[in-house]
Structure 1
Amino acid sequence: MALSDVRAFAALYASGDKTCPERKVALVKHRRNLDARQAEIDRRRDILDGKLKRYERILEDRK
């Protein structure tokens, strides 16, 4: 969560329970961002795993 979002969330929190709906929206947005980032990490890990397997085959063939 960006610092500006954390500050906005803290301000909402300080305003009390009447801001629960807004805080929930902020947390849902943050969760979506985390999910998207995790998906990108997983995609990049898969690419890296493919490259590692290719190098393992090359090195194994040299033996």
Structure 2
Amino acid sequence: MANMSPKAKRNKRERLIQQYGPYCCYCRKYLPREQMTIEHLMAKRDGGSNAIENLRLACFYCNHSRHNNI
């Protein structure tokens, strides 16, 4: 998540945990904090933003295997 300070990233992660729980948004696997990645529903290159509405938590595998397939 380019252009975000580490503190802003932590705050977004905490808001996502509160809103959706500590689970991957795709496979629903429980995610310990060290395994959480922040997923953009609409990629920034496609006009997506770092707004909380465009972000979800995902496991590394789901986040990096989906590319532009969804």
For normalisation by structure 2, the TM-score amounts to 0.26
| Larger Rg over CA atoms | 1
Structure number with the higher helix fraction is 1
- Tell me which of the two structures has the higher relative contact order, counting C-alpha pairs closer than 8 angstroms and 6 or more residues apart: 2
For normalisation by structure 1, the TM-score amounts to 0.28
